Amino acid sequence: MTAPQNPLLNDRDVDFLLYEVLDAPRLCALPHFADHARDTFDLYLQSCRRFAREVLFPTYRPVDEAPPRFQDGAISVHPLLKQVFQPMVDLGVLTAARPAAVGGQQLPLVVATLAGAYLMAANLSACGYLGLTTGAAHLIEAFGDDALKTTFMTRMYAGEWTGTMALTEPQAGSSLADVQARATPTDAGHYLVRGSKIFISGGDHDLTENIVHLTLARIDGAPPGIKGVSLFAVPKRRIEEGRLVPNDVEVAGMIHKIGWRGLPSLSLSFGEKDDCHGYLVGRPHQGVAYMFQMMNEARIMVGVNAAATASVAYHEALGYALTRRQGRPLGAKDPTAPQVPILEHADVRRMLLRQKAIVEGSLALVATTARCADLAAHAAGAEERERAARLLDLLTPIAKTFPAEKGFEANALAIQVHGGYGYSSEHLPEAWLRDQKLNTIHEGTTGIQSLDLLGRKVVAGGGAALAALGEEIQQAIGRAARAGVEPAWGERLAASLALLGELTAHLGGAGMRGDVEGMLRHSADYLELTAVIVVAWQWLAMAAAAREGLARGAPPAGFYEGKLCAAQYWFATELPRVEALAALCRSGEDSYARMQPAWF
């Protein structure tokens, strides 16, 4: 029996999230989305699904097997990427959620996000070029002047040029306060930029004629630290007398990554010949504040990619388990009886159900986060926009981290389901595992996200974001009760939510007393327990929608029963971990805090 074709994502899952859990068409009552309806949502979704499955997915293995080449100072990418780049631009991926005023489709981000997940599951590297370009162009859209928008943003949104975020430097890593790249003002209005950047994804290629680097640098005489960093648009080639000329941006080296192998990660050198022109974006010394717009968008994008990478591996494992025959049921007496598909073995079902719980919980999480972004930007009232923005801030580090950390576990389980075949390059799960690992690292490691969540997001505004989260969870508990969901699930979630509030107050109090180290010592554990609760919220909302679907007789009943089984799994195996994690955070256990370097 041949394994079914990998769907990348389950269409029924996506429709369920959009139309039964989140009620995405309700966004069309807002003026910004008034030109849309479910029909236009479905049209874009179907276009992305078809392109992802028929065109993009077949390119994944060859692109993974033949990474970009660095030769004669330039990067050449796989020819297949050149074949799919323009069709992806034509599909509208670059501007799906951008306003019509800049050439966009003005779709809700929640719709664009789930549509884009198909493309990410098909070939994440190919999507990377476009995602980075959209983020960079959006920075110019938000903060650049009209000249920058005309010169750079318009061409980037059109797919004529691509964009990057050039933040990291060899000596600074994730510490943007230690950026050393310099920018010297000139009488001509531009700046001369000098410095080095590293790990710049898509920093050079031969897909388009130009690349625009949104670059952090210090204007001469700027104050030290974060407050002295400015943002510049630095093109690979600049326009002079109507033509493109080199702009003194050189590739200094290529990182040989174990995954994401179609998207080059580079070391770049700016201004070795003192002729690198940079153009100030916005006001001086506001670069990090501006860049956080792109960074937060990128963090959500990483979460979507992580969910998609776990999803494609899950569906590959499911297809394999349906068709791979091995062994017989426990208690079978006849050794001549036909072997059964391994899906009939309880431990294989355990591994697949855990993958399902992680994958579908992750997709719900990133979709909910994207919907918050829609409301934060476009809700009718200022109060509703502010509340959605607080929720968005709170959910962003969780939406980035949970799909990446738990997605890596799901990817490992996909290999395990394949057994010995999974531990080979002849099958794809090993490649997706390599890809997935980067998602816990780039755009802020899990440790950085945990510090952001506990040190900033949950205590900001006197805990207003956490209060808003509590309101959302209580609404889900009410919906679940009305739908006839197992009452104990709502009760357990409410108890976990109360425990989270108490723990946050305890840790926040330590910080206010000056014990910041003690407050943040177990920030990674705090992030994990918060994520478990947030994903339990997602599963309760999905369980409620599933019960509602069963009550109205919507087909297929098995789809809804599967949702209820996965929800049951989460409440039985994951939510009980919250109490132990909370106790650990509260205890101040200091083994690794007091561990001295010489003791390792």
- Cα–Cα distances in Å, from 581 out to 331, 357, 578? 39, 20, 5
Where b means 16+ CB within 10 Å and e means fewer, 15-35 reads bbbbebbbebbebbebebbee
Indicate the DSSP class of residue 342: G
How far is Cα 402 from Cα 407, in angstroms, rounded to an integer? 7
How far is Cα 353 from Cα 164, in angstroms, rounded to an integer? 38
Tokens representing 204 are: 């050079």
* Helix pair 557-573, 346-378: axis angle to 10 deg: 90
How far is Cα 177 from Cα 137, in angstroms, rounded to an integer? 24
pTM reported for the whole predicted model: 0.97
How far is Cα 538 from Cα 61, in angstroms, rounded to an integer? 33
pLDDT at residue 57, rounded to an integer: 98
Q: Are 540 and 476 in contact (CB under 8 A)?
A: yes
Helix (H) or strand (E) holding 116: helix 109-122
How far is Cα 70 from Cα 220, in angstroms, rounded to an integer? 33
Count of beta carbons in the 10 Å neighbourhood of residue 512: 11
Alpha-carbon Rg of the chain, whole angstroms? 25
Q: Left if phi > 0, otherwise alpha if psi is -120 to 50, otherwise beta: which for 264?
A: beta
Indicate the DSSP class of residue 17: I
How far is Cα 66 from Cα 261, in angstroms, rounded to an integer? 8
Helix (H) or strand (E) holding 42: helix 38-51
Length of the chain: 600
At 192, is the secondary structure helix, strand, or coil?
Answer: strand
Report which residue type is found at 485. V
- Cα–Cα distances in Å, from 558 out to 322, 387, 553? 16, 37, 11
Beta-carbon contacts of 144 under 8 Å, excluding residues fewer than 6 positions away, are 152, 153, 233, 281, 282
For residue 292, the Cα-to-chain-centroid distance in whole angstroms is 15
Q: Are 402 and 532 in contact (CB under 8 A)?
A: no
CA angle 86, 87, 90 (to 5 degrees): 90
pLDDT in tens, the chain (600 residues): 677 899 999 999 999 999 999 999 999 999 999 999 999 999 999 999 999 999 999 999 999 999 999 999 999 999 999 999 999 999 999 999 999 999 999 999 999 999 999 999 999 999 999 999 999 999 999 999 999 999 999 999 999 999 999 999 998 887 888 899 999 999 999 999 999 999 999 999 999 999 999 999 999 999 999 999 999 999 999 999 999 999 999 999 999 999 999 999 999 999 999 999 999 999 999 999 999 888 899 999 999 999 999 999 999 999 999 999 999 988 888 889 999 999 999 999 999 999 999 999 999 999 999 999 999 999 999 999 999 999 999 999 999 999 999 999 999 999 999 999 999 999 999 999 999 999 999 999 999 999 999 999 999 999 999 999 999 999 999 999 999 999 999 999 999 999 999 999 999 999 999 999 999 999 999 999 999 999 999 999 999 999 999 999 999 999 999 999 999 999 999 999 999 999 999 998 999 999 999 999
Helices assigned H by DSSP within 440-590: 446-452, 464-483, 487-512, 516-520, 523-551, 557-573, 577-587
Helix (H) or strand (E) holding 16: helix 11-16
Q: Give the β-pairing of 74-76 and 69-71.
A: antiparallel
How far is Cα 358 from Cα 360, in angstroms, rounded to an integer? 6
Tokens representing 92 are: 């509208």
pLDDT at residue 172, rounded to an integer: 85
Residue 200: φ, ψ to 5° = -90, 105
How far is Cα 256 from Cα 456, in angstroms, rounded to an integer? 35
Give the residue numbers annotated as catalytic, written as ranges.
443
Nearest to 498 by CA among 482, 514, 474, 516: 474
Please count the CA atoms within 13 angstroms of the CA of 50 that sit on its side-chain side: 8
Q: Are 361 and 531 in contact (CB under 8 A)?
A: no
Cis peptide leading into 4, omega within 30 of 0? no
pLDDT at residue 331, rounded to an integer: 83
User: Distance between terminal CA atoms of the chain?
Assistant: 52
pLDDT at residue 1, rounded to an integer: 60
Nearest to 251 by CA among 227, 224, 270, 229: 270
Report which residue type is found at 297. E
Identify the burial level of 186 via C-beta atoms within 10 angstroms of its C-beta, where 0-12 means exposed, 13-18 middle and 19 or more buried: exposed
Tokens representing 526 are: 């705090």
At 251, is the secondary structure helix, strand, or coil?
Answer: strand
Q: Are 580 and 597 in contact (CB under 8 A)?
A: no
Tokens representing 488 are: 């104990």
